[in-house]
Amino acid sequence: MLNNSYTPAFTNASLLILLLILRNQCAVDYTRRYNQTCPYPFENICLSPSPSSYTMSEILPLHSPLPIIPDDLTTSQFMLDGYHSQRPLRTELKPWFVEELTGRQIGFEEIRARTFSFANELKARWDIGEDDVVCIFSPNHVDYPIVIWGTHRLGAIISTVNPAYTVNELSHQISVTKAKLLIAHSSCLKIAEITAKATGIPSSNIILMDSEANEDTDHTYPTIDSIIHSGHSKHATFIERRLGPGEGKTKIAFLCSSSGTTGKPKLITIPHTSIIAAVVQMAYHARVTEMGFSNIEGKWRVGDIAYAVLPFYHIYGLLTILHFYSFIGNTLVISPKFVFKRMLKSVEGYRINHLLLVPPMIVLLCKNQLEVKKYDLSSLRVVLSGAAPLSSELTNQLSKLLLGVDIGQGYGSTEAFVSLTHPSQKRNTPGSAGHILPGIVVKLVKRDGSLAGFGEPGELYVKSPSRALRYLDNEEATKETFVDGWVRMGDEVIINEMRELFVVDRIKEIMKVKGFQVAPAELEGHLLTHPDVSDTCVVGIPDDYSGEVPLAFVVPSQSAAQKMMNNPEQTEKVKASIIKHVSDHKAHYKRLHGVVFVDVIPKSPSGKLLRRLLKEKAKSLMMVARPTTSKL
């Protein structure tokens, strides 16, 4: 069992030497064990592919075996207590987190103290313990990681929620996860209060992430600050346990939402070891300790400053930004919301080195070059894009705008993180989503069921120590995605001999709107509740800013059709009513781009929507509509 005393900082040169010796010894010992048990030993992985490998069933990484991945630690123990060979040492006393709006800095010792105090009070006041679920309904905040790691100190589970969720969407997630506590930001409080009442969460189990809302509500809620203050004044109310060997592979750390083709969002179970493994994979790939304890020349360097505006409830922000960038010794400037000019001001003011963005944000940069050039962005070295494909055209525009800045991409999902830009590349190969990470084995399945080789398209299947486990209480969806140790990624891709990944098309029906997943079936089910809708099918259409946007094909009800026939002016009113029906009940990124009335929705004999036919129809309509309007 772990005690709650603090680990002293590395300040002694002899200690550094000792740690280096221990690290090297651990690496040697682990390599011996790995090559005894791993079906893909070092010599097989590192050799250049032979001609016969073009028909191989599995594509192996071009890396030596991964360093050891602890499977007996929680994320909080790994991030705050542990040492790892891939973790660079912070040689300067720089803060871990900076609050963008105030400039407040939080260092390592304060993070550990706040994490313990938060956990202490959660145990004392609410008896939060093993496998209880704590739900975070908030935009990014400097105490977001404190809530995560404090909850994990108690063996409990974090469920992250999009702060744009409506009452219905939040109610679904709370009901499925059986959350015991709801931590809400003041901007989300009204939705949180209504949802808590509807789902049986007492008002005493609502906690405010910040302190601004207590003046605007009839109820006084405890804040994270007040909880930490109270927990700090108490004797320890819990004893943090060390997981057993291998327990981290199955003990759930996060329940993250991911939309699916079956309608309502699914909850993905992510164990502690998956997060830890992904961090180790990225750190090893990024070569952050290639020159010893810290790489001072590489793309990722200890002491760099990264902009944390992408939401922590999303796996990109949660894993890549919060855990990986903190692990490798970067300072995170935490922004609650993306505001274009404020981002530029922060890059200049905080001397930010890494911008982690999604394509719509990059579109804004490229389309507002005059505004961009008003700011000193000379500190920038890396722009990393994810959540949706970044086109080669947009990459070229950004490269011309930000001269000398490395531009790269990553690819993955909540179920599995797969690829990342190579540390030696200034820019990804055009169209590439990065290189396959070490420790990952992939295979590509053609549409006829045979296996693709290098340069051939196929559906991507992934094996990785950082994969999620399953969907919570959804056996059907689990069987469809998690197949015999493989994760079906749902994308058709091409992989070359250098293990670069190129996304060809999305096999799953899921849409990516501004990097967010949107399930057509969810919108279709909601549209069918509108009195003027008889049948419907939603497809994604390309959009320069959002990547994709939802377009609804609708068969109007008999009464609505008659109304529009008698008075053509009613057509636009019915369309507006249908669009409003979605915007009133769904998150902003799920709003319809337009409505197209049709006589019938094409379906197969089994009743399956023939969505591809309507996608083709949408393309034809766009070609006609583009010269005059973007709305259909």
Give the rounded percent of residues in the chain with a pLDDT score beyond 70. Answer: 85
Which pLDDT does position 239 carry in this prediction? 95
What is the pLDDT confidence band of residue 6, given thresholds at 50, 70 and 90? very low
pTM exceeds 0.85: no
Beta partners for residue 556, in sequence order:
533
Q: Which tokens sit at 386?
A: 């994810």
Please check whether the two domains, 13-91+272-506 and 511-625, share a CATH topology.
no
Range scoring the smallest mean pLDDT among 149-163, 282-296, 311-325: 282-296
Instruction: Please state at what angle helix 108-126 crosses helix 144-153, rounded to 10 degrees.
Output: 60
What is the pLDDT confidence band of residue 37, given thresholds at 50, 70 and 90? very low
User: Are 153 and 73 spatial neighbours (Cβ–Cβ below 8 Å)?
Assistant: no
What is the pLDDT confidence band of residue 259, given thresholds at 50, 70 and 90? low
Amino acid at 547: G
Give the residue-averaged pLDDT of 283-312.
86
Whether 417 has a pLDDT exceeding 80, the answer reads yes
Q: What are the φ and ψ backbone dihedral angles of 573, each rounded to 5 degrees? A: -70, -40
Which pLDDT does position 321 carry in this prediction? 97
Higher-confidence residue of 435 and 620: namely: 435
Q: Which of 37-51, 56-70, 238-252 has the highest mean pLDDT?
A: 238-252
Q: For domain 13-91+272-506, say whether CATH 2.40.40.20 is its number.
A: no
Give the residue-averaged pLDDT of 328-339.
96
Q: Which tokens sit at 234?
A: 């108490």
Give the residue-averaged pLDDT of 507-520.
80
164-174 pLDDT, tens per residue? 999 999 999 99
204-222 pLDDT, tens per residue? 999 999 987 656 667 889 9
Whether 308 has a pLDDT exceeding 60, the answer reads yes
Range scoring the smallest mean pLDDT among 12-21, 86-95, 242-251: 12-21
Whether 294 has a pLDDT exceeding 70, the answer reads no
Domain 511-625: CATH class, spelled out: alpha beta
Domain 107-258: CATH class, spelled out: alpha beta
Which pLDDT does position 605 carry in this prediction? 53
**Domain boundaries of the chain, sorted by first residue:** 13-91+272-506, 107-258, 511-625
Q: Which residue has the tokens 């055209």?
A: 393
Q: Which of 12-26, 38-52, 367-381, 501-515 has the highest mean pLDDT?
A: 367-381
Q: Which of 141, 279, 296, 264 is nearest to 207 (CA)?
A: 141
Q: What distance in Å separates the CA atoms of residue 79 and residue 362, rounded to the nearest whole number? A: 31
Q: Which residue has the tokens 């939080």?
A: 106
Q: Which of 310, 284, 278 is nearest to 423 (CA)?
A: 284
Spatial CB neighbours of 167, under 8 Å, sequence gap ≥ 6: 191, 194, 195, 198
Amino acid at 58: E
Give the residue-averaged pLDDT of 142-155.
98
What is the pLDDT confidence band of residue 316, given thresholds at 50, 70 and 90? very high
Q: What are the φ and ψ backbone dihedral angles of 411, each rounded to 5 degrees? A: -140, 140
Whether 15 has a pLDDT exceeding 60, the answer reads no
Range scoring the smallest mean pLDDT among 271-285, 310-324, 349-363, 610-624: 610-624
Which pLDDT does position 625 carry in this prediction? 59
User: Are 333 and 343 spatial neighbours (Cβ–Cβ below 8 Å)?
Assistant: no
221-251 pLDDT, tens per residue? 999 999 999 999 999 999 999 999 999 999 9
Q: Which tokens sit at 71?
A: 């499977």
Which pLDDT does position 526 carry in this prediction? 86
Range scoring the smallest mean pLDDT among 146-155, 242-251, 292-301, 484-493: 292-301
45 burial (CB, 10 Å; 0-12 / 13-18 / 19+) is middle
Give the residue-averaged pLDDT of 46-56.
35
Note the helical H segments in 49-188: 75-80, 108-126, 144-153, 167-177
Q: Which of 539, 546, 562 is nearest to 609 (CA)?
A: 539
Range scoring the smallest mean pLDDT among 34-38, 73-77, 360-364, 466-470: 34-38
Whether 631 has a pLDDT exceeding 90, the answer reads no
What is the pLDDT confidence band of residue 39, given thresholds at 50, 70 and 90? very low
Whether 153 has a pLDDT exceeding 90, the answer reads yes
Q: What is the CA radius of gyration of the chain?
A: 25
Give the residue-averaged pLDDT of 47-74.
68
Q: What distance in Å separates the CA atoms of residue 309 and residue 318, rounded to the nearest whole number? A: 11
422-467 pLDDT, tens per residue? 998 998 888 899 999 999 999 999 888 899 999 998 999 999 999 9
Q: How far is CA 596 from the centre of its chain?
A: 33
Q: Which of 482, 29, 71 is nearest to 276 (CA)?
A: 71
Which pLDDT does position 623 carry in this prediction? 72
Q: What is the mean pLDDT of the chain?
A: 86
Which pLDDT does position 495 carry in this prediction? 95
Whether 139 has a pLDDT exceeding 50, the answer reads yes
- HEC assignment per residue over 615-630: HHHHHHHHHHHCCCCC
* 3-state SS, residue 563: helix
Q: Which tokens sit at 563?
A: 């109304």
